[in-house]
Structure 1
């Protein structure tokens, strides 16, 4: 994968139907890529990754070994095919590669709809222009009569490039250069090789998922289905990935700010000040509008992300340029009389928080929440946005801060009165309030998102930390308690494990003073990583740890906020708290984790290293003038 391009195929390497293909910017430019030797498909042997953006497939065809080295590039892909005579006698063969494309949108392919588009055969030197202006060009030999002595080999390389039409509107594009962290990526050396490899893979995947809007970088939501800009996903990814530097957050914020709502449009759910949910090229959109605003949380997350990026060193002039967007976002929050909520739409998205499946928000008895729905975590994000937004307004001498602090305080008071559910095992916040104002009472992972936002008191945070253990699968937090009627460990949102969801809870537990519980969940994610080649997927099964983690069949992998779990774990294990405007970087390592060496933590223009000894003593090096280290805990 090299965003916005991705190859999909089975382990044989053959692209022959279903969802298989080479996709570029949401369109399937190759729907067929089938290699035959003497009219037969070679017998597959092995398949595996080859470099950061490629794969290697091996097979046999009688005395001939067949090797295929496939790579994605942002505007297409290449495949190098090698035939090698491994026998002890001369061999002849006919190599053919059947290549064709249909230019179907990835959304249509995923839904299982017949795109209704004929395949266009492609051969050496062929350039095909689709009916809507897309062009696809193939270079390389797709047919050869081969004669090889023992040990000899034959190689052909096929290159495919796609060019989208020059039409107005949003279109994902590759960045103009490498990731800002590419020359010195975040690295971890610990007593647990699983953590070290998880961090390395996650950092690499974030680089592979990079896209750009002009000069501004952001991460595509996930491969293969979401290689485009999603508001919520991109903002959470940027927040979790702040140890890689503020640049990803800054680029994400500017890219989304360009599409901030300016008017009311029921068809797209746009509203003034609202940050969009999903953007796709007009020619690739299907059941959702090309620019769709059906999200209840991205607007709050926009404000919080800017405040946190400033703490990590985003320059004040870049922050100031986005303050008008912050003010408009806060005004959108202020349009809600009681709680920030959504109604949803049966023909678009029924649920509009991060659990956006149609059944993702339900009562403990399995009844679906009736709209309008006010999610608990959305109230926490909104509270945090109002408080941090007020701080930004004060810092830059802009009016309105007092209004938003009062708004936040009133919201917290209403939340405390309405959201808490009494229970013999301890009170807990409901997932949401439904349209009748009743708590949606399933014990769910949503409550983990409340920690560290300021919405809860210390006593309430302790109660949430205790109830989260009920959701522990041993591999991470289940999205819903097994005691709920709708629990299904292999559902999308009703019992599965989403790594980013667990990471958000881990960070909140650290910030709220519960590092031991945070470490328990962190060990679960680290333990799950080897089952997925140290690339945590979008989600996996929520069965308990008596058996290996179970893959979810259609999970994105890599997926941006799952990849961002890697730097987020570094933040949590170090107890890293950065505040450049206040001139400090604090460390408070998680007790009991052991030795830890972390290099290339990027804070502003500085590159820092942290060391934690087995006894908890910690050091921080690389601090520039104007920043001081604060070491807390055992190493203080």
Structure 2
């Protein structure tokens, strides 16, 4: 995919690269840092080609041939009267932990010429958290970078205490010379390649990342591609096809509950190519009618890292389902809490929802049997550390070292009052109470049918009914005829009108009459942009169309709402949401991004991109499948 600033993104097998228009890497940071990335680290931070001592001219800027391969056409600088002596056809491919490059030089002259090729290379091994534009810095005491010249290229090593990462470059043919630069670890490799009259020469380069914690393995063979079925000819079918392709791109290997390797959808690129509790669970739920094996893998992977103890730094608590896992240096040394970070209030009930939904869809009870103890521990967490017994609701307290908000709207300020002020904890967000209600009912069914524990099933059903009754009394705002976004630590209603209300239709915690009124309200113009339902209704003080969670529109949010609308028979509203999102997808090559701006459809020629959106992003990729399901259910 090529971005607006002509950046090319390549991804395959838990590896991705960001390249510039000439296929280069300059070591940028910020919103979309460039480089080669594996396991939360940048394994290539400089990759700059010069031809005849000058930066090449991109006759054809780098463009993706496929999701993992890009090509461009370069030349030395020339004039009308002295055109370039040769042309460079550059092709780059990403596979598991590897960037390969093929340079084919073609002479444009009848006499022999010599092409001077220089490639400047470095690997800074920066952790992804260092590359974010948040003005944070992290000390690295004892960190040592080394660069070694080898017979056919370079080796870059980074060591810090027990941490060791490596990047190896091999070249065919080997460079004629290797030069040091003003930067201590950067090297420039030089080739003088002779070209016969209208002749050719080739240069093949292979960069292999060796992240800390992974054993050295032989180069991976490409995974077989998913069997494609031709789209049925409509835009929703094409969006579904693109979405399945994107889920494939984001699928990564992790360890399951019995130590087996399972393949799960990571959250997204560039920042979230890792297992995410909430994201992986909802993506798997959307895919469930089409790929139930994804749900089974995700549940196994999350059960394997379910909380075992209390750890205030990471938020770990017994039975709690993880928010995210990280493999980078900063997580390893506990400079950030995200190695296994549990700061989410919704992943645990969603784990239970998916476990039952998998059984309901497949009628295979083996997974529910296998994960019975994990499900019971998840329920125990909901009642204890989750807050159901003490507060009557699932609650979270903002984490100053991690996430201030721990529901899906996890940016600072997202859980707010109508005046824009952030709610203070312990916070009970509305949609999570719906998840909890649904989780209790679904787990009760598993207890009754699969585990043969009728008393436990009865206890869960009774708890679910009490939660539903409390919710109706505490969250409903009669004047607005709409549920509050949250209750703050004093029980005060956070009265901003927000899309979270639509999730309550999906979970079924609202009675039918209120649910149908909420569903219709979400399709009024202040909420529905024409492309999608906004996270906050326009016109409120905190509304901002370019805010991450206070006015933008998220495909996955709309997918859950569409499933809820279908549950209550709101066919017209399902059609409106589906048409808007599918129309937006067609403007992005049938790929839905993580989030789009909240501007009204009538005011723009197309959906306005949110400037920091991940793409591809897993639950956005799976959204068209959820829309198809909603259309079939209504």
Contact 1:340 1:378 in 2 (8 A): yes
1:157 CA drift (Å):
1.9
Query: For 2:599 and 2:48, how far apart are their aligned partners in 1?
Result: 38
1:35 CA drift (Å):
0.9
Query: For 1:153 and 1:495, how far apart are their aligned partners in 2?
Result: 55
Map 1:38-187 onto structure 2 (within 5 A): 38-44=52-58, 45-61=60-76, 62=78, 63=84, 64-86=86-108, 91-111=113-133, 113=136, 120=147, 124-131=152-159, 132-141=163-172, 143-148=190-195, 151-166=198-213, 178=223, 182-185=225-228
Task: Please name the residue that 2:593 is paired with.
Answer: 537
Task: Please name the residue that 1:609 is paired with.
Answer: none
Where in structure 1 are there 5+ consecutive unaligned residues?
576-587, 589-636
Task: Please name the residue that 2:185 is paired with.
Answer: none
Map 1:283-432 onto structure 2 (within 5 A): 283-285=329-331, 286-313=335-362, 315-335=364-384, 336-337=388-389, 338-396=392-450, 397-399=452-454, 400-423=456-479, 427-432=481-486
Which of 569, 584, 588 is residue 528 of structure 1 equivalent to?
Answer: 584
1:528 CA drift (Å):
0.9
Query: For 2:522 and 2:146, how far apart are their aligned partners in 1?
Result: 51
1:113 CA drift (Å):
5.0
1:167 CA drift (Å):
7.6
Give a deviation string over 1:181-235, Cα, whole Å, max 9, x none. Answer: x543465414x3x333322221111011111223222111111111111111110
Q: Which moved more, 1:58-67 or 1:345-354?
A: 58-67
1:268 CA drift (Å):
1.6
1:27 CA drift (Å):
1.1
SS at match of 1:126: strand
Task: Please name the residue that 2:619 is paired with.
Answer: 561
Query: For 2:545 and 2:105, how far apart are their aligned partners in 1?
Result: 45
Give a deviation string over 1:569-604, Cα, whole Å, max 9, x none. Answer: 2212333xxxxxxxxxxxx6xxxxxxxxxxxxxxxx
From the superposition, tell whether residues 57 and 279 of structure 1 become closer, same or farther in structure 2 (CA, over 3 Å).
same
From the superposition, tell whether residues 90 and 274 of structure 1 become closer, same or farther in structure 2 (CA, over 3 Å).
same
SS at match of 2:577: helix
Query: For 1:160 and 1:122, how far apart are their aligned partners in 2?
Result: 14
Contact 2:95 2:220 in 1 (8 A): no
1:82 CA drift (Å):
2.5
Query: For 1:161 and 1:203, how far apart are their aligned partners in 2?
Result: 28
Contact 2:593 2:614 in 1 (8 A): yes
1:389 CA drift (Å):
0.5
Which of 234, 250, 261 is residue 209 of structure 1 equivalent to?
Answer: 250
Is residue 252 of structure 1 aligned with residue 281 of structure 2?
A: no
1:535 CA drift (Å):
1.8
Give a deviation string over 1:272-294, Cα, whole Å, max 9, x none. Answer: 11101111125242432411110
Contact 2:330 2:336 in 1 (8 A): no
Contact 1:102 1:119 in 2 (8 A): no
SS at match of 2:296: helix
Give a deviation string over 1:239-264, Cα, whole Å, max 9, x none. Answer: 01123321111111111101111222
Query: For 2:441 and 2:288, how far apart are their aligned partners in 1?
Result: 20
Query: For 2:553 and 2:513, how far apart are their aligned partners in 1?
Result: 27
SS at match of 1:367: coil
Query: For 2:355 and 2:155, how far apart are their aligned partners in 1?
Result: 45
Contact 1:100 1:121 in 2 (8 A): no
From the superposition, tell whether residues 34 and 114 of structure 1 become closer, same or farther in structure 2 (CA, over 3 Å).
farther
Contact 1:175 1:210 in 2 (8 A): no
Q: Which moved more, 1:111-120 or 1:247-256?
A: 111-120
Give a deviation string over 1:326-354, Cα, whole Å, max 9, x none. Answer: 11111111222311111121221110000
Contact 2:537 2:551 in 1 (8 A): yes
1:515 CA drift (Å):
1.8
Is residue 497 of structure 1 aligned with residue 541 of structure 2?
A: no
1:178 CA drift (Å):
4.7
Query: For 1:409 and 1:107, how far apart are their aligned partners in 2?
Result: 43
Contact 1:53 1:72 in 2 (8 A): yes
Contact 1:50 1:69 in 2 (8 A): no
1:25 CA drift (Å):
1.0
Task: Please name the residue that 2:317 is paired with.
Answer: 271
TM-align CA RMSD = 2.4
1:534 CA drift (Å):
2.2
Query: For 2:582 and 2:447, how far apart are their aligned partners in 1?
Result: 39
Q: TM-score, normalised by structure 1?
A: 0.84
Contact 2:40 2:328 in 1 (8 A): no
From the superposition, tell whether residues 269 and 183 of structure 1 become closer, same or farther in structure 2 (CA, over 3 Å).
closer
Task: Please name the residue that 1:593 is paired with.
Answer: none
Contact 2:146 2:156 in 1 (8 A): no
Number of equivalenced pairs? 566
1:32 CA drift (Å):
0.4
Task: Please name the residue that 2:37 is paired with.
Answer: 23
1:476 CA drift (Å):
1.1
Query: For 2:467 and 2:149, how far apart are their aligned partners in 1?
Result: 60
Is residue 457 of structure 1 aligned with residue 472 of structure 2?
A: no
Query: For 1:294 and 1:408, how far apart are their aligned partners in 2?
Result: 24
